[in-house]
Structure 1
């Protein structure tokens, strides 16, 4: 009887440990959907012209620590966001977008978690720099969105990257007219 109780308690503890493991960011949740005012159309600079996207500075998630944003996941989200906004393609003069994740400021704990991402975006066309700026944006996840802290942190990471991409597109459109 005592062994069964011990085994049941060990199983519950093991399940709680698995539930508290950090998970990597989901590119779909970091992707900015087509947004009015941020979507390029024929005649706009960059419309269907981005042929190359490079990303650096991200890091993979250690399941035993905290959720992070990997280069591969960030690149997928940035490419999908650029495609939704009408920039990906090979119709115009080829453009390259480079994004370097400089910092991901994360809280250690909290009920509502806010993450601030700092990303340097560089856009080049014909080896000339068209855009080169550091963009900072904050994303927040609340206790009502996820009870488990590591899930809230992942969601805040995703929201921060999505908001960062949105701010990048806002600034790029304003300067590329």
Structure 2
């Protein structure tokens, strides 16, 4: 009788542990934050910055704590920004070297909800030597629904990724329109 009870308790504890692991927060994935080649966002020969971005610096991100909430790390944000700049025709060494610096100021996340919306606020600076050719702060929102992910931690990660992707997309639009 005692052995049976202990076995059942052990099975319940094992199931509980597996469920807890399934609910752990996972870090954002750069491939889902990357803006693919998009008409209207792609640089052409003669555009400011065409194949000229040689360096991308990022700051302000946070590593994900699996026991807390999904975040966006500097490394993942940098990978997504570099891939987006490459897809848009800005990464390269053809023109005067440009440096893109992006600082994540805020990642406003909900505590709970069925549809989760995250707003990212990122400050961008593009420089050529000591000259600032673009500076702006961009805010963008991304939303993930229960239909996209049942687990709240998964919805939050998806909303983070969509928010950062929309933020990079808006940066590319503004840079293309306002770089001098």
TM-score (norm 2): 0.97
Partner of 1:27: 30
Displacement of 1:106: 0.1
Aligned residue pairs total: 177
- Secondary structure of the corresponding residue to residue 104 of structure 2: strand
Task: Give 1:6's aligned residue.
Answer: 9
Please give the root-mean-square deviation of Cα atoms over the aligned residues, in Å.
0.8
Aligned partner of 2:153 in structure 1 is 150
Distance 2:23 2:57 in 1: 32
Alignment deviations for residues 12-44 of structure 1 (CA, whole Å, 9 cap, x no partner)? 100110011000000111101001100001111
Aligned to 2:98: 95
Shift of 1:150: 0.3
Q: Helix, strand or coil for the counterpart of 1:109?
A: coil
Shift of 1:7: 1.2
State the alpha-carbon separation in 2 of the partners of residues 130 and 176 from structure 1.
6
User: In structure 2, the residue corresponding to 1:80 is in which secondary structure?
Assistant: helix
- The 5 Å alignment of 1:26-175 reads 26-175=29-178
3-state SS of paired residue (1:2) = helix
Runs of 4+ in 1 over 2 A off after TM superposition: none
Structure with max Cα Rg: 2
Q: Which runs of 5+ in 2 are unaligned?
A: none
The 3-state SS of whatever aligns with 1:18 is helix
1:147 Cα deviation from its structure 2 partner: 0.4
Q: CA deviation at 1:62?
A: 0.5
Q: TM-score, normalised by structure 1?
A: 0.98
Aligned with 1:121: secondary structure?
strand
Work out the CA distance in 2 between the residues paired with 1:127 and 1:94.
11
